[in-house]
Each structure stands twice: as structure tokens, then as C-alpha cells.
Structure 1
Amino acid sequence: MSKRAGRSLKASPAGINQVKNSLRNFGSKLALADELEISRATVQKFFVGKPIGRENFHKICQRLNLSWQAIADLPAEDESFQEFLCDTSFDLTAVVNEWRQKARLHIESRCGMVRVLDMSQPIDLNDIYTNVNILEKITGRRRLGIAELLQNCGVQDFERFGLSGVTEKRVPGLEAVKRYSKLMVLGKPGAGKTTFLKYLAMQCIEGNFQANRVPLFITLKEFAEAPGQPELLTYLSLWDGHLARPRNGADRMSTPQDVSMLKILHKGRALLLLDGLDEVREEDTKRVLRQIQDFSDQFHTNQYVITCRIAAKEYTFERFTEVEVADFDEEQIAIFAQNWFRSQENPSPTLPELAGRE
């Protein structure tokens, strides 16, 4: 099975009739363009069956409550592929369980151990992890007037001038992920963004969180610098569940394993954890951003969590909700310190040591 369609799509004659009918319930083409912040020319091309960008095609179809696959004029190969994806005889639950089993060793080896501060060796994530809280309003984007800045600026607050008594509502990290299907987690260096992402992966693979999905942990810097600059879909297809890195392979989706991964993505049964957007090299940034945007648009029913350092750059993903990792409160500091000293007294065995015991 060859690589999927290019970067543009057009509506089929039958699809045009469907979108025109749906437009009657919505209003006008002008209103549609304004709401989606798409040029009027692009919307006009869509309604007359001319090619437009895949992302805009998906956005228009979604706003009109239509399946883009049903509207698009797909080549015969893609039509047969879509028929396969919609085949109800395909045992999705069995495939998801199979992939979860394949992914377990990779997730445990990649996410089950962490090294923080001055540790000489990694320790078990569960031994040190402290539940994080999320701020739904980014502190660096707060806009305060002079009166508000001066309201609480006593001597005790001097070091945090203008930020004293930060009382933004805190939400438990897991609750934020449950609430938003597409999440951009921002945070200061060392705030625990990667650790939180690893915790999500471990909770998922252990069946404690979104047990009906396959966790896919991707370090974006590694993806960006992968040989041949593969598409994100291809990069995922090259994962071997028994290894901690992608295997080598041709840039194609052809094996039963590849097809089953596509089925999982198409049905929204993946938890995609994309770590370290700010660590991607400058020359790779634009390509990686486009890849994430296109992928999350094409497979929009999956769960996405991206981490990025706050204020590193201005990244905008239209369908992603941005939140920030909150600083630890006193209780969290005490829990972390307790876990830290306990781990130093009883360090966890390393993976090679565990393997040697078997």
C-alpha cells in the first residue's frame, strides 16, 4: 500500500451536493469563511470542486458536520483503503490490545525510569513522581494594569513584584488531559513536563488511564532528525514495539502491522505524547509544526499532548488548548522531598540489573 494522498484535496461531484445542502443549515459561504478564518477564495474553490489545502478541507467538512472522506474526490486506491478502514468486521479491540502488548516494553524502558537533579543513575518513575497541577491561564500572558500591579506589592512580595498571590485555578494534570483532547502543556525549564508525559504513558500502558488506547511516546527532536525526514505517519509505522527506537524501513505503509496502526489512528484509539517541541532545531521547526498540524487534523479523534518550554517560541495550533504546569505548592514540595530522600536511601535497580536477575 503506497503512501497516502498529497497535501491538497478536492470535493467530488456527489460531495459538492452534500456540502451545499449542509451550507443551507449553516448560512453563507462568507460566514463560513469568517468563522474558520479561511480566505473567501479558498471556500469558493472548495464549493466548486477545486483543490485546496488538506487542513482547510478538513476544517470546512468538520464545521459542516460532514466526513471529509465522504466529501473528497479520492483516487481509486484511497477509496479502497477507506473501505478497508470502515470495515466493521475488523476486530479493533483485538488490534488495540495487540499493539498495547507490543508497546509495553518500549514504554516501560523509555518512560518507566527517570533521572532528575543530581542523580547518578535513573530511578523508577513511581518512586519519585509527584502529581502535577495545571494552570488553565498562562501566567506569562496575564495582562495587568498599574493598579492591579500595585495592589499587592508589600515587602513580603518584593521578589515576585506584580505576581504576589497568584491564585489562578489549578487543575490536576490527569483531569486536564481528560478535559481536552488536544493539549499543549507549557512550562518553565525543570517544571516536570517530560516527567508528566512519561507518567501519562505509564498510566496508560498499565491500564490506569485511557486503557482502550495505545500510548505512543515520541521525542520530537529525534523525530525531526530521523534519517530521510519521514512523515510523522511513516515514522509511527516504523515503530517496532520491542525496541526503544524506530526500526529502519522503506518510506511506505505496506505490512499488516502498518495497516493495523492506521486502523488504530483512524478510529481514534491512540494516545500521542509528543515531547519537547522547543528542543527541535530551528531548521526543522517549520517542517515539524506542519507535520503535527496535518497529522492531528487528519486523525483528529485521537488524544494529543504536546510539551514545550514556555516563551521558547510562539507556536500556534488552532485546535490545541494551551495550559501551563503550575509551580509546586507546599504539600507537593514536601511529597517530592520525601520521595527524593527515600529514593536515595533505596535506589531502584537499573534496567540491565533487572535483566540480569531473569
Structure 2
Amino acid sequence: MTHRSVRSSEDGITQAKQILAMKGWSQQYLAGEVGLSSRQCVWKFLTGRPIERHIFKEICFKLELNWEEIVDLPYEQSPKRVQPEWIVENLGLEECVKMMRAKVGEQIQIQCNSLQSSFELTQPPLDQIYTTVKILPEPTHQRWLEVVDLQQGKNSTQRFSVKGTNPKAVSGLEIINKYNKLMILGKPGAGKTTFLQYIALQCSKGKYKGDLIPCFIQLRSWLEQGFDEEINLSSYLMRQCLGHGLSHEQSLTLLQEGKFFCLLDGLDEISQESREILYRNIDNFAQDYYKNRIIMTCRGAVQQFHFKGFTYVEIADFDHTSIENFAQRWFVAMADNKRNGKNKADEFLEQLDLPENQPIRELAITPILLNLLCSVFKERSSFPTKRAKLYQIGLDILLQRWDQARGIERDGIYHNLPLPHKIKLLCQIAAITFERDSCFFESREVLDIIEEYLENSLDLKEDAETLWLTSEAVLKSIELQHGLLIERARDIYSFSHLTFQEYLTARKIVSTKSEVLKNELNKLAQKILESRWREVILLTISLLPNADFVLQNMKQVLDSLVQQDLLLERFLVLLENKVSSVKFSGEKSALRAFYFTLFRHRDLDLALALDINLSSQLKLDKELQLDSILARAFVDSVRLVEKPNLKHFLNLCFTLELENKFQLDPNFQESFQTLKSILPSPENKKEDIFTWWQEEGKEWVETFHHLLIEHRQIGYNWQLNPEQQELWDQYYQANLFLVECLNSDGQISPKVSQEIESTLLLPPQILEILKTQINPLLSV
């Protein structure tokens, strides 16, 4: 029995039974009067077994018994009344407020200016890193929306991202100024406690509501305090006043006149057994002493009780500005001087904004995960090359470390589920919903997945109704305890971060039994053409002990894609012929990539990914320079036909001055000179130049085009229809992604990597020869 548990004396049991008989109450009825969901505690009370002290007092109150007279405790544990050493007489109301503010100021500073972390031994003081909190006036889970509403404006290639300030979000101070009674909801790690601590500090310093007495209470700690503490808010506040020398009358006046600013943190952290009594007590306090300001915080999933007169709001995710502000403050606070801290923050934000770090950037919308990112970046000035490791740490914080660091123990079937089973269940939910292309999904979908897991993996034998109710409890527990699943609207859920859904999906694939793993990896390789699967593929590659098989299968998918379009196949043949005619010391695949986009995208992403030295080769290799200049000139000439522009025409004339820069082939030079001579003189009137381009320009461009094809083997006009255009773009982007996979942190054998790189953008005919004669491994 802990110091919080008490039991009835024999005499007390006799008195209680007599009163029950006199009132005609059953144990179940008494339990209902006390606010308990079962009669177990009443039975323990009547049989002399220990129960929690606050429940013992509530039962005695309902039976009109003095709990101190019937409690069975050793003498040294008997309750003590607060006996102040002095009573301050003749103080008016305002003087009492000033005195109490002075007394509690140091306590608030100690309570609220330090932050708790599950991954850093030391954290900077709150007042050094606090970042303005934004509030959503309407909790998201209360919205009557459909899945299609939440997906509106989002296509399959987009991710959740930080897109500036939510237009519905307002300043936290603006919200608490507006409402006297406030319930602030938010997912784990959203900054609820930090916001309350900040408000308490501001009030204590007189910067906000300086005429009130701040009272910051962590509800879980309050209930776990010693025997001489009341689980009654008014009694607790009275006790604080009496302990600081005020009389009973003065203390009561402070309550009645609303001079307390009650900041009650962590309503979700209370055990189910204690929750009902605590709810009722706070609700009664808010009604009886309605002038006092009250702000409570709670995770959004715990809403079985609605407090009368309270406005419910929700903490918004960090936007881009909040992320910047937090990072600047955090690094400056952790650095040895301000300049170094600011430089480190700038490096952090610059890397965070890189396109390849977008999945990491998505985590930063949650303050606790942004804190983790800052902590990770602090040591190496970079993010881990193995992103999966970072995601695992973030997942671990939300799954167990955040609650463990604060000593919170949850209840219910999900809490008793071993961690491996929790992860497997989350992987199952992530993989199935991701496969369905569901960023948002209705509760019934995820409940079906949970029910199947409980029945098959845990061998939970229940009737259908009980199993469904158990699944609902598990879903709410996942939302409450970890915040990994979020209710975005009524009965519509999503993962808190798309990054976690992707990571868990990859983890599910990798954990597949060995006999079917190859089949799963082959199915994954088919997804290379779907951009939304690319982060899952990258994570899977990084988690596999050897990624050769999946990469070889991805390459085969791209090779098969070429055979779907004869024009693409023909283009690759001509591309290889062109590359073979160019003397080039670098990677041939990089040269193929250069010419692939020369007249289409004109980007060098794939070429540079294959050979970083290509950028310098372009400055040295005359052949590449010439073709690049001619391609630019051709594109400019097409635009002049469409819309004549004097500046563009002058640029074209300058670009075409090639004779002094390059040693041209005599045949090409002759035809090229003839073509240039047809152009109007730059000294002509602007109107005459424009008229020429409108009347003669199209024919001139066609002649230029034929010249490029005949003498330089570039600029073929394929006249692609929209479907072919999409397929060619898809093929290029998929090749670019395949190279990204080869350069990732996965375990890939050098031989396979080289074989794949060297055969990129090759036509099927050449690939067949290579498969059988040079690289038999590619035919696997």
C-alpha cells in the first residue's frame, strides 16, 4: 500500500453500512453518486481494503461521514491541518493579491522555466527559446468534413508541407485574452505544457494579468502528492493561501473575487480511475468560483467529459516562421556565443530547406521533433545520412520516451501491448493505407485493420461487438499516447506526419518473412514510376542488409518501359549513336543524359548525378559547348516566331557568332553561314525585324532545324502526343530517381551499382547484347 492509499477502520465500516441501509442505497448506486464507473472501490471501502485517498474522501462525503474519524492509519500518518506560523490581519483584497504573487513567484520560476527532454540531459531555459504559439479556434477533430475535402487541392506528387501560417490560426495570447475558461487541445509534443509554463511566467513577472495570482498545477503530480494534499481545487488554493499567512476569510475572498489564474496541465495524464472525480471537481470549481480564470491542456483524444462554460481550442502546428524562430533561439541558447549560435541556426535552416530534406522538414511542424532535429544537427552540422535512423529516434520518442521521461503510465489494453506488437500494428496500418493511396482514411478503415491484427496476431478471441469496441479503444489510445494517428475531422484520421507513414510502410516491407521478401521487393520495384512511393523505396533500400535485388528490378522496370513506345526506343538508338561520335573522357551514361534533355528540359540533374565532373567538362569540351549553344539558339528562334522581341533577336544574333569560338566542320560552316545571312540586319527598324519573323521566321527555323539534325545529330522533332510526352518525362524522372537510390545510404554492391549506372538510357537492342555477353548479372 502506497502513502496515497487508505482504508476504513472496523468502526468506520460499521457506520458506513448502517448509513447505506438507512438510505436504501446499493453499492452500485453509491458508486454512481461518487462518479465511479464500477462498484469495485465501494466494495473495497466496505471491506477494509485500501483505495486511493481522494476516492475514500468522496465516499465519506456522500455518506456524510468524517473521513478523518473512520480512516484506519498509523498515528504518524494521520492527516495534518495547515497551521500557519502567523496570520496577516487587516490586509485588503489587493494587498492580499500582491502578497500571494510575491510568495508564489519563486515557485513559478522553478516550476515553469525549465523544460523536460527525453533526449537531451540539459535544455535551455524556457524564456530563452520560447516561440510564439498559434491557436486554432476550432479543434480540427470537430470539423464535419469528408476525406475528399481534406484531399482537395492535393495530387499524388504532393506531400504535407509547411506552407506558411494557417489562415485560421491566431495568436495564443489573443485567444486567452478573449476567453475566461479555456481548454487547449493538442497532439503529444505540440507545446501545450510549454505554452502554459510561459503564461505562468509572464503572469508571475507582471507582464500578463499582473493583477492575478498564477497557479500552475501539473495534474498528475498533484494527484501523486503526499497524504496532506486535497484532491479538490478550491481546498488546494485555500491551503496555499493559509500556508502563506492569509486567514480563512481572506483566502475565501480571493477565490470568490476571481483572483486566481489557474493553469491546469495534462488532463489526459490522469488515470481512468481518478479522472471522473477530478473532472467533476474542476467542473464544480469552475461553476462555484466562476470569476477565476482557468486554462487546461489535454491531448485531443481524451474528450469523454465536456466542461461547462469552457471554450475548446487546439494548438496549431509550427509554420515556417515558427520553425525559423525556434531554431534561431535554440542554437543561440545552446552556443557559447550569440554569433556562433546564429551561424549554426542559419546552417540548420538552409539544410532543412533543401528539397531532399523535405521529409525531415515535415517533422519540424511538431515542436518536440523540431527540438530533436536541432539536437541531432548540433553535433555534426548535418542531418544523418541514414534518415531511417532519425525517423526511428523520433518514433521512439513518441512511442515511449516522452511519457517515460515524465513518469506517466497509461492504462488500457493498448498500454499493456508489448512494444514490438505496437510497432507491428502501426506498420500494418501504415502499409495498408499507403498502398490504398490514403493519406486520410475513415475510422472504420483503420478499425478493420486493428481488429484483424488483434484477432490474428494476438489471437484475441472475442465476439464481434467486443472486438470492435476493443479496436476503438486501441485507436483512441494510439492517438492519445503517441499522437501518431490524428483525427483530422470527425471520424477521419491520418498519420501525424507523412514521413512516419512512409517509414512504417518501409519497415513493414523489410520485416516480411524471408520466403516472400523477394516478391514484396519486386512489387515495390514496380512503384518506381509513382513519385509518391519514392521515399518508401529509399527508406526500404536503407533498411535492407543488401539492396541489390530491388535496384536490379527497378532497372528492369525502366528498360521495359522503353519498349512501350517505339519513338522513345528509336530516340535512345539515335542518342547512343550521337554519344558514340563524341570524344568524351567522362561517364558515357552522363553524356547520354546530357543529350537526352538538350532540347527538352535543358536541365543537367541526371547528367550531373551520374558524373559531377560534367559541369567542368562543359567548359572544356568544345563539342558539348557547341551543341549546347546551338540548342539554346534554336529554342530562342522558335520563341521569336511565336512572339517577336527585339532583345531576344539581338541575343540570338550574338549567340550565332560561332566561327571565332569553334572550329566548325566545313560542310556545316558553309550551310550555317548561308542560314545566318538570311536573317535581317540588327540595324533594321524594329518593325521590319518583327515583320520578317512573322513572315519568314517559320521557314528559317525549319531550315535551322534540318541543319542541326543533318550535321550535329541533335534536335530531332518527335511530335509527341500528350501520353508520349508524359511517358518520356516519367522515364527521365525515374532514371534520375534510380541514380538517387544508387547514391543513397543503402548497402549496394559496387559491381551492381556500376552495371546499372553504365547501362542507363541505353536502347533495348544494346541492353540485350550486354546482358548476354558482358553483364550476365543484369539478366537476373
**With structure 1 as the length reference, what TM-score do the two structures score?**
0.63
Instruction: State the distance in 2 between where 1:346 and 1:201 align.
Output: 29
Matches within 5 A, 1:217-296: 217-228=216-227, 229-239=230-240, 256-296=246-286
Q: Provide the secondary structure at the position in 2 that maps to 1:113.
A: coil
CA distance in 2, matches of 1:275, 1:146: 32
Whole-Å separation in 2 of the counterparts to 1:115 and 1:146: 37
Amino acid at match of 1:210: K
1:255 and 1:127 map into 2 onto residues whose CA distance is 34
Aligned mates of 2:235, 2:150 — CA distance in 1: 50
In the alignment, structure 1 residue 102 sits paired with structure 2 residue 103: yes
What is the aligned partner in structure 2 of residue 191 from structure 1?
190
Aligned to 2:315: 325
| Structure 1 SS opposite 2:240 | coil
Q: Which has the larger radius of gyration?
A: 2
Alpha-carbon distance change, 281 to 258 in structure 1, aligned in 2, over 3 angstroms: farther
Q: Is the 8 A contact 2:163 2:320 kept in 1?
A: no
Aligned to 1:305: 295
Aligned equivalent of 2:213 = 214
Aligned length, in residue pairs:
247
Q: 2:305 is paired with a residue of what secondary structure?
A: coil
Aligned to 2:177: 178
Distance between the aligned counterparts of 1:331 and 1:219, measured in 2?
30
Amino acid in the other structure paired with 2:103 = K
Q: CA deviation at 1:332?
A: 0.5
Structure 1 pair 211/164, CA: closer, same or farther in 2 (3 Å)?
closer
Instruction: Establish whether residue 135 from structure 1 lines up as the match of residue 111 from structure 2.
Output: no
- Distance of aligned partners of 1:115 and 1:224 in 2 relative to their CA distance in 1, 3 Å threshold: closer
Code of the residue aligned with 1:298 in structure 2: it is: D
**Residues 152/293 of structure 1: CA separation in 2 closer, same or farther (3 Å cut):** same
**Quick one: distance in 1 between partners of 2:151 and 2:107?**
52
Aligned to 2:542: none
In structure 1, C-alpha distance between the alignment counterparts of 2:187 and 2:197, rounded to whole Å: 17
**Secondary structure, counterpart of 1:237 in structure 2:** helix
Please list the CA deviations of residues 285-331 of structure 1 after superposition, one character each: whole Å capped at 9, or x if unmatched: 00100110011111101111000011134331121000000001101
In the alignment, is the contact (CA less than 8 A) between 2:124 and 2:330 conserved in 1? no
Retained in 1: the 8 A contact 2:166–2:319?
no
Shift of 1:236: 2.1
Matching of residues 146-157 of structure 1 within 5 Å: 147-157=148-158
Contact 1:153 1:164 in 2 (8 A): no
C-alpha distance in 1 between matches for 2:164 and 2:95? 51
SS in 2 for 1:322: strand
TM-aligned CA deviation for residue 91 of structure 1: 1.2
Change (3 A) 1:333 1:140: same
The amino acid of 2:322's aligned partner reads Q
Change in 2 beyond 3 A, CA 1:90/1:267 = farther
- Displacement of 1:231: 2.0
Aligned residue type for 1:297? Q
Give the letter for the 1:263 counterpart: T
Query: By how many angstroms is 1:141 displaced?
Result: 2.1
Matches of 1:146 and 1:216, distance apart in 2: 42
Tell me what 2:13 maps to.
Answer: none
- What is the match of residue 304 of structure 2? 314
Cα offset for 1:258?
Answer: 4.3
Residues 164 and 321, structure 2, Cα contact 8 Å, conserved in 1: no
Structure 1 residues 138-157: Cα deviation after superposition (integer angstroms, max 9, x where no partner): 11222213552453221344
User: Given the alignment of the two structures, is residue 203 of structure 1 paired with residue 202 of structure 2, yes or no?
Assistant: yes
Q: Structure 1 residues 116, 258: closer, same or farther in 2, change over 3 A?
A: farther
Q: Contact 2:202/2:208 (CA < 8 Å) preserved in 1?
A: yes
Give the AA of the match of 2:311: T
Note the alpha carbon deviations across 1:33-82, whole angstroms, 9 max, x for none: xxxxxxxxxxxxxxxxxxxx9xxxxxxxxxxxxxxxxxxxxxxxxxxxxx
Letter in 1 for 2:184: V
* C-alpha separation in 1, matches of 2:111 and 2:301: 27
Instruction: Report the secondary structure of 1:256's partner residue.
Output: coil
Q: Contact 1:205/1:215 (CA < 8 Å) preserved in 2?
A: yes
1:113 CA drift (Å): 1.8
- Relative to structure 1, is the Cα distance of residues 345 and 139 closer, same or farther in structure 2, using a 3 angstrom cutoff? same
Distance change in 2, residues 1:235/1:150 (3 Å): closer
In 2 relative to 1, CA 153–178 (structure 1 residues): closer, same or farther, beyond 3 Å? same
Q: In the alignment, is the contact (CA less than 8 A) between 1:224 and 1:288 conserved in 2?
A: no
In 1, Cα distance between the equivalents of 2:303 and 2:291? 27
C-alpha spacing 1:146/1:117, structure 2 compared with 1 (3 Å):
closer
CA contact (8 A) 1:157 1:164 kept: no
Letter of the 2:187 partner, please give it.
K
Q: Which moves more between the two structures, 123-132 or 206-215?
A: 123-132
For residues 108-149 of structure 1, the C-alpha deviation after alignment (integer angstroms, 9 at most, x for no partner) is 110122234633124321111001000001112222135524
Q: Distance in 2 between matches of 1:257 and 1:118?
A: 45
How far apart are residue 346 of structure 1 and its match?
Answer: 4.3
CA distance in 2 between partners of 1:231 and 1:297 (Å)? 14
8 Å contact 1:135–1:168 — kept in the other structure?
no
Match of residue 168 from structure 2: 169
* CA distance in structure 2 between the aligned counterparts of 1:288 and 1:299, rounded to whole angstroms: 16
Does the 8 Å contact 1:137/1:168 carry over to 2? no
Q: Deviation per CA, 1:217-275, whole angstroms, max 9, x where unpaired?
A: 1111122234455322222233379xxxxx8xxxxxx9734443322111111100000
CA RMSD of aligned residues (A): 2.8
Q: Look up the SS of the partner of 1:123 in the other structure.
A: coil
One-letter amino acid of the structure 1 residue matched with residue 172 of structure 2? G
Q: For the residues of structure 1 that align with 2:265 and 2:305, how far apart are their CA atoms?
A: 14
Q: Are 1:217 and 1:272, in contact at CA under 8 Å, matched by a contact in 2?
A: yes
- Distance across 2 between alignment mates of 1:92 and 1:100: 12
Q: Identity across aligned pairs (percent)?
A: 35
Query: What secondary structure is seen at the aligned counterpart in 2 of 1:263?
Result: helix
SS in 2 for 1:342: helix
The structure with more helix, counted as a fraction of residues: 2
Which residue does 1:32 correspond to in 2? none
Residue 159 of structure 1: CA displacement?
A: 4.9
Larger fraction in strand? 1
TM-score normalised per structure 2:
0.30
- Contact map agreement 1:183 1:306 (CA 8 A) in 2: yes
CA positional deviation for 1:168: 5.2
What is the CA–CA distance in structure 1 between the aligned matches of 2:210 and 2:125, rounded to whole Å? Answer: 21
Provide the rounded CA distance (Å) in 2 between the counterparts of 1:115 and 1:123.
10
Q: Distance in 2 between matches of 1:95 and 1:323?
A: 33
SS of equivalent residue, structure 2 residue 290: coil
In 1, distance between residues paired with 2:237 and 2:141?
34
Q: Do 2:231 and 2:278's aligned partners in 1 also have CA atoms closer than 8 Å?
A: no
